[in-house]
A = this chain, B = another copy of it.
Amino acid sequence: MPNNQFKRGELYSFMTGKASTAIARRLQKNFKQVGIDITVEQWSVLYHLWKQDGMSQQELCNATFRDKPSITRLVDNLEKQKLVKRVASKDDRRMNLIYLTDEALKLETQTLEVANTTLNEALDGVGPDNIAICKEVLQIVYDNLK
């Protein structure tokens, strides 16, 4: 049973994710502005590798909420840019373990600063309580649908 009914005008912004598109665009622009030449999607992969280096592609799929072909190509492109290296696992030769290069390790601090700046631009004028509630709602939405 539906717990909410929406008037037609209310559907749209929720369904199309304008806010998250706007954040992604701004983040991309801010990367560019400080001379960081990676896409936001590549950043999302690096983000998880900074937390735990040597993840498999499948683990990156789960972490980034992307499918396998997407990760294959993101890793392809990151490899081209010499930011990661594929290493075949010795335990299970089906698996590639993805390792950061020194180059990529250097990007961590710099990109997190840019991400922080971007988020502050985005949330300017929003109170901390409402940010918390919004995060919570988005988490529930994700859990409901993933």
**Which residues on A are within 8 Å of B, measured CB to CB?**
2-6, 8, 10-27, 40, 44, 47, 64-65, 112, 115-126, 128, 130-131, 133-142, 144-146
Residues of B within 8 Å of A124, CB to CB, are: 3, 140, 144
SS of A interface (majority): helix
Q: Which 3 A-B pairs have the closest CB atoms?
A: A17-B20, A19-B138, A22-B145
- Chain B residue nearest to A134 (CB atoms) is B137
Q: How far, in angstroms, from A141 to B124 measured CA to CA in the complex?
A: 8
Residues of B within 8 Å of A47, CB to CB, are: 12
Q: Does A23 contact B17, Cβ atoms closer than 8 Å?
A: yes
Quickly give the copy total for this chain.
2
- Chain B residue nearest to A128 (CB atoms) is B4
Residues of B within 8 Å of A145, CB to CB, are: 22-23, 25-26, 121-122
- Chain B residue nearest to A50 (CB atoms) is B8
Residues of B within 8 Å of A65, CB to CB, are: 16, 18, 21-22
Q: Does A13 contact B112, Cβ atoms closer than 8 Å?
A: no
Residues of B within 8 Å of A10, CB to CB, are: 135
Smallest Cβ distance from A31 to chain B, in angstroms?
11
Q: How far, in angstroms, from A17 to B125 measured CA to CA in the complex?
A: 20
Q: Does A133 contact B135, Cβ atoms closer than 8 Å?
A: no
